[in-house]
Amino acid sequence: MTSLITSRARHVAVIGLGAAGLVAVRELRREGHTVIGFEREKHVGGLWVYTDRVELDSLSVDPDRTIVHSSIYQSLRTNLPRECMGYSDFPFVTRSGDGDPRRYPDHREVLMYLQDFAKEFKIEEMIRFETEVLCVEPTPENNHKWSVQFKSSSGVSGEEIFDAVVVCNGHFTEPRLAHIPGIESWPGKQIHSHNYRIPDLFKDQVVIVIGSQASGNDISKDIATIAKEVHISSKAVASDSYGCYDNLRIHPTIYRAREDGSVVFRNGKVVFADAIVHCTGYKYHFPFLKNNGYVTVEDNRVGPLYKHVFPPAFAPGISFIGLPFMGLQFFMFEIQSKWVASVLSGRVKLPTDDKMMEEAIAFYTKLEDLGIPKRYTHFLTDPRGNPMLGTFKPEDAVVISQSDYFNWIAKQCGCTSIERWRERLYNVAIKKIFFGGDSYRDQWDDDQLIEEVYGEFAKLKSNQDCSS
Ligand code: FAD
């Protein structure tokens, strides 16, 4: 299939118009393709469109439930400074007027940034809102075209044929749950962080929060403002430790839950709790790729994929933007989109299907040899600067460094890779998340670097003004 692509414009469908889909649409159009974006909701922005609504099934296990897309809680502020979060040529700077000027702004500010981006690049005119994609499959004629079947909120169904489909449906909507022995007969209430918005539900209660990464960290502190006690269950805590301050305690993982309402931790501590909040992450989920035979999801590995983007046997007809998690997300969406757009036009060639498959298998074998579980396949960050990877060995950097990944893609499609300042800012920021204490979002000592960054933004603006 790869060799049939010649240099020309393609008719491309983009599924989902969050931060990934928006930049994918822009890059595809810049490359000369015609694009139609399908968005299930009424607005662009995806995850950043906050809603008070939650799913009726508070653990989101019922496959037939009505989906609420966003997992954003009301108090959420970004965990990275805005300067490194934006797309390369549209800096995420303070807006005039009603915005949040902080370096780590609240979620509304991110949404406004994405809306500004959509407006600047006239993206909305290419989007079909309130239109859910239900099925994506190669056409039966096997003519390298793709059938996209969809349904609008008013009930109108349709099918359209495309040369290619770019999947940008996000991966923070389908919860993963921790397995807790005895939980079936534990009488308290349980929710997943996907359905957490505000702490009020937990007033004066004893609450266990499972997970101590970004969401677990934020949510436990949010709940602690109103609850009687909050107990965090963390994989990162050794079995004999029992951290404690104010009404918030840290334990190792849960050993079991019991019918009498108690929960036993692996350090032997027993807590009678009213509620458990699972901040245990999400699963990749592509309900519209039914019985597809080209990608599967196994223990959160989407594969086989060449460089997290192309399924070898079907490239470049279908591609995935945004699978790697952690790291500089918007920048990654942008550079992956440039690659997909340039491959589709034929300006950039992919290796043969066999070579891509060989590469994907070699990558999986390497992860296995290093003892890295499948679910970390798409964990793209720089282990040299990320304490979350404390248990991995330094040589893992070869496999999963985000900068190496960006540089590799940039080389393929002849575009600019990650700026040195962005990389430096990110490396400082990621350490602050883990070692910066509760006030990491409001205290920093990188003023000199920031000055340099704003100097770069000014240069960019002046170049853009000259060329327009
Ligand atoms: P989404 O934003 O989820 O967008 C996917 C879109 O696809 C949605 O609009 C959805 O409606 C649509 N869609 C889905 N299925 C269909 C379908 N079948 N048909 C049509 N449309 C469909 N990143 C940062 O850089 N900084 C942060 O501070 C940060 N904080 C985060 C906090 C939380 C709690 C979470 C969960 C993530 C955070 N992230 C952060 C990561 C975040 O995921 C990315 O920043 C990014 O917004 C994800 O964009 P996306 O486009 O991949 O997915």
Using alpha carbons, select from 435, 455, 459 the residue that is nearest to residue 447: 455
CA distance 110 to 462: 24
Atom of ligand 1 nearest to the CA of 150: 19
The pLDDT tens digits for 100-124 are 999 999 999 999 999 999 999 999 9
DSSP state of 267: T
Average pLDDT, stretch 10-29? 98
Q: Which residues line ligand 1 (CB under 6 A)?
A: 15-21, 38-41, 46-48, 69, 71-72, 78-80, 85, 132-133, 168-170, 172, 215, 288, 322, 329-330
Buried b (16+ CB within 10 A) or exposed e, 414-427: ebebbeebbbbbbe
Which residues have CB under 8 Å from 467's CB, separation 6+? none
133 pLDDT more than 70: yes
* More confidently predicted of 46 and 240: 46
> What's the gap in Å between 366 CA and the centre of ligand 1?
29
| pLDDT tens per residue across span 289-328 | 976 778 999 999 999 999 999 999 999 999 999 999 888 9
Question: Which amino acid is it at 326?
Answer: M
What length is written for the chain?
468
Q: Does residue 64 have a pLDDT over 50?
A: yes
Distance (Å) from CA 43 to ligand 1 centroid: 13
Over the stretch 281-296, which tens digit does the pLDDT of each residue have? 999 999 999 767 789 9
Output the pLDDT for position 243.
62
* Whether 84 contacts 330, CB under 8 Å: no
Ligand 1 atom closest to Cα of residue 169:
7
Three-state DSSP class for residue 133: strand
Q: Measure Cα distances from 449 to 183, 241, 348, 420, 460 in Å.
A: 49, 38, 35, 11, 17
Residue with CA at minimum distance from ligand 1 atom 15: 169
pTM confidence score: 0.94
